[in-house]
Structure 1
Amino acid sequence: MTIPTPQSVFPRSADLPPVDTHFHVFPAHQSTPGARYTPAYAAPLQAWQTAAAAVGLRHGVLVQTSFMGTDNRLLLAQLAQHPDTLRGVAVVSPDASLPALQALHAQGVRGIRLNLAGQSHDMAPWAAASPLWDALLALGWHVELHTDRGALAPVLAALPQAVPVVVDHFGKPERASLHDAGIAAVLQRSRQAGAATVHVKLSAAYRLAPAMDATALAQLWLQELGPQALLWGSDWPCTNHEDSANYPALYAALAGWLGPENTETLEAIRCTTPWRLYWGIPQPA
């Protein structure tokens, strides 16, 4: 079966532009019933484009917000207008079918988000969602996980081992240590399922525990997983942390954590790894 893909002109693998793998757009004063947050302001795509352009960035991965639930219409509308520069991560229900996901794939979606932060981490509905996981594997998609601090390990354990995973916001561990349950669970999954099936986003350090050293945590992930498993995202517009929405500072944070002299590592995380995951461009040999 051939999955339709939006038409794009791919750059050479040795000259891939950077990608913001985590940002949001949304209207003001809108959310789904029962949402834990309703924004008092709008975050339009043009505002992200303007902010990103200030650091020379045009490509991004638009991630569906928790408060819009499975209503992906705005996300899909933005992808339709910018098929060459945007990819998407949608939110779906556990009973989503392969034909439904194929339709999303044709519109530029490359994964689903399971956002459990601030709500129940009960995985029973998802643990039983075998058709959904089979559909993800057929499409080459991943599931993106956002959990509360220290709650990642049991969520990972409830997912089929073969399903590719992208862990949001450093994984939000309780400590930057190999003995942390969440970090240990990610590393174990990477060893057992294969390194290509596990990624961690270095994003939103302000969502970590107040005492957490983001630099130490970023360097731990780099040492244990390597740049081919790491992604950078701005988390723009930094909902509930809007005072951190300084885009140049968000972009520069990665070099601050890993060292500006590590140019090859920074290029891999900002460029080659996201292009491989979201656009299907293989990493250079």
Structure 2
Amino acid sequence: MAVVKSSVSSPSIDTHFHVFSASADAVPGARYRPAYAATFTQWQALAEPCGVRAGVLVQPSFLGADNSALLDVLARAPHMRGVVQLLPGTPADVITSLHAAGVRGVRWNMAGRLDDASWSHPHWPALLAHVASLGWHLEVHSDVGGLPAALHRLPDLASTAIPLVLDHFGKPDPARGPACDTFAAAMALADRHPVYVKCSAAYRLQGQDPVALLSRWASLLGTDRLLWGSDWPCTNFEQVADYPALHALPAAWAEALGQEIPFDANARKVFYDGADALLA
């Protein structure tokens, strides 16, 4: 991949995109299933001209814990990283192999599934403590306005200090504005867990101003807790899957905010153990 010089706020690491085939079966109860394929080659063709040289594949909800497409990419592209979905009884040796493959996080996609009994499975605390010891994080995706209830479903993880990554600006309730309890719920955990926010998928926020949300999170957590992801291929919002336009957003947001945001340095902390991720 060619090295392209960019400003601090113009990311070279995309921390949130998806790959999937057109034929893999969706899990029972999936809310949707795209009829097309989203391939790593397609992502590369869009990302590389923008100067994006590394990235994080996030397991889509409709594939459940079948992470095979994601792991196939990691096997072919060791400079990439992954966030997987796991079953609560996943054996320790499987976790070890996932870590070696480049996985650095577990995703709890609770959108539309807040009442699923699986979030209360007794094996979760031990599993999450194990992945926390490897430096993984827990990524939480909720419905709009649903983050406080989603965080309330987490097991007691105080002893693990596992980092938390909140998907898509934390998806606060637009009707509540700055008073939304999404912010308070996140800050209530921030003294025990590093909390990061993915500045991604603003089109999923029901018209909320991403710059205002960026400013709010920056004031609460600091700019060193902000990540950028394209959310490509923008499932259910494919009409906005314009990669150059998505990649241009962080610099525009930072300019509107009046300060640079170290998106790449933050991504290296969360996904690359602080090392230089920008490999050839």
Q: Shared fold (TM-score greater than 0.5)? A: yes
Equivalence for 2:163: 164
Equivalence for 2:61: 66
**AA of the residue aligned to 1:230:** L
How far apart, in 1, do the equivalents of 2:91 and 2:16 lie?
A: 25
Pairing 1:38-77 to 2, within 5 Å after superposition: 38-77=33-72
Mapped contact 1:29–1:38 kept (Cα < 8 A) = no
Structure 2 runs not aligned, ≥5 long: 1-7
TM, length-normalised to structure 2: 0.86
Mapped contact 2:27–2:64 kept (Cα < 8 A) = no
Equivalence for 1:11: none
**AA of the residue aligned to 2:164:** V
Equivalent position to 1:93, from 87, 90, 100: 87
* 1:125 paired to 2:118: yes
How far apart, in 2, do the equivalents of 1:19 and 1:76 lie?
A: 18
Deviation at 1:254, TM superposition (A): 1.4
Mapped contact 1:219–1:258 kept (Cα < 8 A) = no
Mapped contact 2:254–2:260 kept (Cα < 8 A) = no
Equivalence for 2:236: 240
Deviations 1:136-167 (A, max 9, x none): 22211111111101111122123223332100
* 1:279 paired to 2:272: yes
TM, length-normalised to structure 1: 0.85
**AA of the residue aligned to 2:189:** R
The change in CA–CA distance for 1:17 and 1:171 in structure 2 (over 3 A counts) is closer
Greater alpha carbon shift after TM alignment, 87-96 vs 30-39: 30-39
How far apart, in 1, do the equivalents of 2:257 and 2:178 lie?
A: 26
SS in 1 for 2:179: coil
Equivalence for 1:8: none
The change in CA–CA distance for 1:173 and 1:263 in structure 2 (over 3 A counts) is closer
Pairing 1:1-285 to 2, within 5 Å after superposition: 18-34=12-28, 35-84=30-79, 86-117=80-111, 119-122=112-115, 124-127=117-120, 128=122, 129-159=124-154, 160-161=157-158, 162-175=161-174, 177-190=177-190, 192-194=191-193, 197-210=194-207, 212-259=208-255, 264-265=260-261, 268-269=262-263, 271-281=264-274
Count of matched residue pairs: 260
Mapped contact 2:11–2:228 kept (Cα < 8 A) = no
